[in-house]
Amino acid sequence: MPTVLALETSCDESAAAIVTDRRVLSSAVASQIEEHARWGGVVPEIASRRHVEALPGLVARVVAESGVDLAAVDAIAASVAPGLVGALLVGSVTGRTLARLHGKPFLGIHHLEGHLASVRLGEDPPEGPTLVLLVSGGHTELVRVDGPGRYRRLGRSHDDAAGECFDKVARLLGLPYPGGPAIEAAARPGDPHRFRLPKGRVSRPGGGFHPYDFSFSGLKTAMLRQVEALTTAGIPLPLADLAASFEQVVAEVLVERSCRCALDEGLDTLVLVGGVAANRRLRALLAERAGAVGLGWRVAPLAWCTDNAAMVGVAACERLRGGCSSPISLGVAPRLALAEADRLYETQPCF
């Protein structure tokens, strides 16, 4: 069973972990959220600088906590795509330098492949082909997974990602960044059916609607109109009901289209991963609806939904078992699609 040191710096969490197969020996995350919260979102330049400052300490910590010396790991891995270019570069350069220094193979990992692997950190990981609903701050995708590196995107958002929508609506409601956890907390005592909100459909050029795609811009506008109407009428904002109604409609649209896609594809298991997968209403609704239509389901463990390096390590171990390694001169690819993740292991670096 391979052991790897994994690094994650694609956005606003600096993270390191040491993983053996799908067992986490140590994991540390330094969140920059408080600093970015002052600006209402991630400031790329600040993110890169904080990664530079945090990463050496995190590596030292996971090495000490695991008791595994870098001389004993089988490979060193880092997220190299997609994400903020400056942020990705910090993990990539650190990873490649350590790999060179210790004479280890380097693996560039696709960050979304890391999210997909996060479900393997739970009990009873799924076997065989699955449909994965991947919902994070930057992505909303329905991915058919037929094995490591065998991905087909069947659905996506045409505008904001689900997490981005949580973040923007939170700001509208006067809640802090990141919006997901803030909305979830505000929604707890609320009535999820008080406000009727749109489920954003995406038209097809030939007529009808795309059955598995998403659009969150109409929902964002509907929330804005609702807040404006209440404010104009001098009614104090019913924050809990607004947050709960928003959370409910996002969860419903994600789960309904995912179930339909899985059934149409003849897949029997639905998997939920990514930062937004931490949302308890979404997790509960997925379990309820998937169960009702006879689908099996798995959700990534709560601790591994938002960005972390353990999930990158699990993906790296799978790749390593498949005989993959990246050229040491591999750069970063801020926009590489998941279906192209295999390109990270071509002999000649693709970027």
Residue 186's alpha-carbon distances to 166, 243, 286, in angstroms, are 12, 6, 21
166 lies in the site for ligand KG4, by CB under 6 A: yes
86 lies in the site for ligand KG4, by CB under 6 A: no
Scanning 38-46, 85-93, 131-139, 146-154 for contacts with ligand KG4 by CB under 6 A, the matching segment is: 131-139
Residue 118's alpha-carbon distances to 31, 136, 179, in angstroms, are 18, 13, 22
184 in Cβ contact with 279 (< 8 Å): yes
Cβ at position 340, least distance to Zn ion in Å? 17
- Choose, by CB under 5 A, the member of 13, 247, 307, 318 that binds Zn ion: 307
325 lies in the site for ligand KG4, by CB under 6 A: no
Cβ at position 13, least distance to Zn ion in Å? 8
136 lies in the site for Zn ion, by CB under 5 A: yes
Q: How far apart are CA 351 and CA 348, in angstroms?
A: 9
Cβ at position 204, least distance to ligand KG4 in Å? 28
Interface mask toward Zn ion for 87-106; x: CB under 5 A: --------------------
- Choose, by CB under 6 A, the member of 138, 155, 192, 313 that binds ligand KG4: 138
DSSP H or E segment with residue 250: helix 239-265
* C-alpha closest to that of 284 among 247, 257, 311: 247
Interface mask toward ligand KG4 for 32-71; x: CB under 6 A: ----------------------------------------
* C-alpha closest to that of 150 among 179, 126, 130, 170: 130
**β-pair type (75-81, 3-8):** parallel
> 16: helix, coil or strand?
strand
**β-pair type (13-20, 3-8):** antiparallel
163 lies in the site for ligand KG4, by CB under 6 A: yes
Angle between helices 239-265 and 280-292 in degrees, nearest 10: 40
Q: How far apart are CA 198 and CA 201, in angstroms?
A: 9
Cis preceding-peptide flag for 148 (omega within 30 of 0): no
- Choose, by CB under 6 A, the member of 11, 16, 59, 132 that binds ligand KG4: 11
Scanning 39-47, 98-106, 180-188, 328-336 for contacts with ligand KG4 by CB under 6 A, the matching segment is: 180-188
Residue closer to Zn ion, measured from CB, 160 or 241: 160
Cβ at position 131, least distance to Zn ion in Å? 19
192 lies in the site for ligand KG4, by CB under 6 A: no
CB burial class (10 A; 0-12, 13-18, 19+) of residue 225? exposed
4 in Cβ contact with 298 (< 8 Å): no
Cβ at position 142, least distance to ligand KG4 in Å? 16
Cβ at position 38, least distance to Zn ion in Å? 22
Scanning 52-60, 302-310, 327-335, 340-348 for contacts with Zn ion by CB under 5 A, the matching segment is: 302-310
- Given the rule CB under 6 A, which residues bind ligand KG4? 11, 136-138, 163-164, 166-167, 178-181, 184, 274-276, 278-279, 306-307
Residues that bind Zn ion (CB under 5 A): 136, 307
